[in-house]
Amino acid sequence: MNRKWTGCAAFVAVHPLLKIAVVVVLITSAALFLHPAPSLAVILVFLLHLLWCPSLLSPALPVIGLAAAGFFGFSVVNVLGYGGAETVTYQLGPLEVSLEALLFSLSIFLRVFASVCTAAWLTRSLRPSHLSAAIDGLVGRATSTALAILVIHRVIPEVVRRFGVVRSMHRVRGGGGGPGRIVQVIAGILSTTIYRAELLATAVKSRGYSLGMQRTAFRPARITVGHVAWALSVLLVAGGVVVAWELSLGLDGFLAGTAEEASGSQVRGGGR
Amino acid sequence: MSTRDVIVTAAAAVVLGIAQLAFGPLYTTLSGALGPIWVMLFLGFYYLPGIVLGLIIRKPGAALGGSVAAALVQVILGSPFGILALAAGASQGAGAELVFALFRYRRWSFPVLALAAVGSGVTALIYEYFTLGYANLEWWIPLAYLGVRIPSAIVLAAALGLAIYRALERSGAVRSPARRGSADVQTGGNLS
């Protein structure tokens, strides 16, 4: 096996969790921060990822591109929106809308769009076998957590498909609207999902697996120095980009921005 | 929980998590229309996983685990709340779990479910108080948040959860307590 393939195979062991970490950072940064540094850092991580092992992500490239564009657009729009354009207003029919409000709406749209794209990329490109190997290696004894995460990852595409099927069936049968329909749809999908889950549980138990016992065929993922070095280097690069970006704005701006952000996020974060 | 319970909880949480994700844009729209206090009349829908999964599994950890799993589904599928949804899910599930534990996982009547849903609302409010800066608001605003979310929890979590559970019973997906008891006797113990 040549060196490149060895590198690719080694990367696969860490890669699912790294992907999850990247997506968590992406979504959190989209939810919390209002400047482009995290987005640029994540785009750079994607590029490094592609350089390391292009074949793994090539089918997902368009989705990654969309996600990156969404995040970048979101960041730029936010910077513009908070850059002093607050006083410009437009007349939209009976409403008088400020440019800031329009930009903020657009930024929310881009944020949701980018979150969905990155999540779609994660779901489409992760393989349960890779995920299970990585979780088994890192979670160790918390097997119920690992099992639950694996089941969630496996069931999500089926349930999404089933939502469409059940909705179509209700439409064909002329089901009414309102709360009754919500109960019908959710209960319909829940009943088939529980039935499938019971079958899955029977299959899992029939192979000798149960909580508290290791699997019959257990092959832990081996985390080598190379994996740790790769993860650390990605973290360093991402952190370096964030710090370099902030310092390029000047230390005063950095500190002022941090304080403003801390107070602003408290006011902005209502709801759930 | 047994292997079967973990698998069923995780799978059912996916359904409820996706339903909540679909509810998210509606909630955001309503938030703009109704304002930050009255929109909490719809917040009870987020407490649904803890109630439904607690009712289906009826074992310690099901409400909390189910609520966290549903939140994880939302994070994976791109919730606009981001990773914070996970902590919110844990806080909501903890309230329901606490109430079910108080009744030793033996009573599943509507008042108990309503209490569990209100418990979810209270623990979620405690979490939000410290993370969303409610301490900086006027004293009556957090109280108003609580007052508005109580009826929401009773209707959208307890009543809706019970309706979903009864529909599941009719479909045969879950066993009613009477059937479960007789089946346990026939099989000589725990079905899981």
Contacts of A122 in chain B (CB under 8 A): 76
What are A12-27's pLDDT values in tens digits?
A: 444 556 666 666 666 5
Give strand pairing partners of A92: A95
Indicate the residue of A23, A31, A267 with minimum beta-carbon distance to B84. Answer: A31
Cβ contact B6:A211 at 8 Å? yes
ipTM higher than 0.95?
A: no
Q: Do B168 and A190 touch (CB under 8 A)?
A: yes
Least confident of A139-153, A187-201, A251-265, B160-174: A251-265
pLDDT (0 to 100) of residue A175: 60
Contacts of B43 in chain A (CB under 8 A): 272
Give the tokens for residue A223: 């985390």
Residue A217 pLDDT exceeds 60? no
Distances, alpha carbon A67 to alpha carbons A47, A62, A64, A74, A76, in Å: 13, 9, 5, 10, 14
Indicate the residue of A108, A148, A271 with minimum beta-carbon distance to B10. Answer: A148
pLDDT (0 to 100) of residue A54: 40
Cβ contact A56:A15 at 8 Å? yes
Contacts of B160 in chain A (CB under 8 A): 179, 182-183
CA distance B29 to B40: 12
Q: Do A147 and B7 touch (CB under 8 A)?
A: yes
| Average pLDDT taken over every residue of chain A | 61
Q: Is A98 helix (H, G, I), strand (E, B) or coil?
A: strand
Q: Do A123 and B132 touch (CB under 8 A)?
A: no
Q: Do A28 and B2 touch (CB under 8 A)?
A: no
What are A44-66's pLDDT values in tens digits?
A: 555 554 454 443 434 444 555 56
Full-prediction pTM beyond 0.90?
no
pLDDT < 70: residue spans in chain B: 80, 82, 175-192
Give strand pairing partners of A90: A97
Pairing of strands A89-92, A95-98: antiparallel
Contacts of B191 in chain A (CB under 8 A): none
Residue A153 pLDDT exceeds 50? yes
